[in-house]
């Protein structure tokens, strides 16, 4: 792990994939990471903190997010992260660890994983509403079919008393 530490550039956007989400932080040098620790503490609201690389990764693989044109680099990114160190405004959707890291590097808070999750939820909601509609439609069709079969059976019982072919009976009923 020591060789990996030497390769991490100051201000690098670090990502650790967890089950269902990924955790983000900024490499501050000397084996330390600044990150919003919201999800790192089982959804408890915690402030931005500086921790060891090992504590941040919790034994998981660390990857680095690259930026083609970052607004800030190296020490400036770390300075920006330190400026918010005692902030305690974590919000899973509006202000999470990924928002913080993208803000420190680009000046714009964004979270592609939140956008992706919102898109998934929207799709699930759409599919669910379509299925609910189809369920209702199926129920309506089934009820209509049942009523139609019941109506025809009743007419057939009446017709059998008249000794007339069904098609003639129904034709006569339409004329009335």
Contacts of 117 (CB under 8 A, 6+ apart): none
Per the structure block, which two tokens stand in for 104? Answer: 């420190």
Cite the beta strand spans of the chain per DSSP E: 13-18, 21-29, 32-36, 48-52, 62-65
Per the structure block, which two tokens stand in for 25? Answer: 């932080």
Contacts of 12 (CB under 8 A, 6+ apart): 26, 27, 64
Number of H helices, E strands in the chain: 6, 5
Q: Are 76 and 9 in contact (CB under 8 A)?
A: no
Contacts of 14 (CB under 8 A, 6+ apart): 8, 24, 25, 26, 27, 33, 56, 62, 63, 64, 65
Percent of the chain with pLDDT over 90: 36
Q: Are 99 and 109 in contact (CB under 8 A)?
A: yes
pLDDT beyond 70 at 4? no
pLDDT beyond 70 at 2? no
Contacts of 106 (CB under 8 A, 6+ apart): 67, 70, 71, 72
Which CATH number applies to 2-110: 3.90.1720.10, 3.40.109.10, 3.30.1240.10, 3.30.70.20? 3.90.1720.10
Q: Using 50, 70 and 90 to split pLDDT, how confident is the model at 79?
A: very high
95 - beta bridge partners? 91
Q: In this predicted model, which residue has the larger pLDDT, 137 or 22?
A: 22
- d(CA 75, CA 148) in angstroms, rounded, equals 77
Per the structure block, which two tokens stand in for 57? Answer: 């990764």
pLDDT at 39: 53
pLDDT beyond 60 at 44? no
Virtual torsion, Cα 105, 107, 108, 113, nearest 10 deg: 10
- d(CA 41, CA 88) in angstroms, rounded, equals 13
Domain residue extents for the chain: 2-110, 119-175
């Amino acid at each position: 792990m020591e060789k990996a530490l030497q390769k991490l550039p100051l201000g690098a956007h670090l990502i650790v994939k967890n089950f269902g989400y990924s955790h983000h932080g900024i490499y501050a040098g000397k084996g330390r990471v600044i990150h919003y620790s919201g999800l790192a503490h089982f959804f408890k609201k915690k402030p931005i903190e500086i921790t060891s690389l090992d504590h941040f990764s919790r034994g998981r693989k660390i990857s680095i997010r690259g930026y083609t044109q970052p607004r800030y680099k190296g020490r400036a990114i770390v300075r920006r992260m330190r400026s918010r160190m005692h902030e305690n405004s974590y919000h899973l959707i509006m202000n999470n660890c990924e928002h913080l890291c993208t803000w420190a590097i680009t000046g714009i808070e964004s979270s592609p994983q939140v956008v992706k999750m919102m898109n998934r939820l929207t799709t699930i909601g759409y599919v669910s509403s379509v299925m609910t509609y189809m369920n209702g439609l199926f129920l309506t069709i089934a009820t209509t079919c049942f009523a139609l079969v019941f109506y025809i059976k009743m007419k057939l019982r009446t017709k059998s008393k008249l000794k007339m072919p069904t098609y003639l009976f129904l034709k006569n009923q339409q004329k009335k």
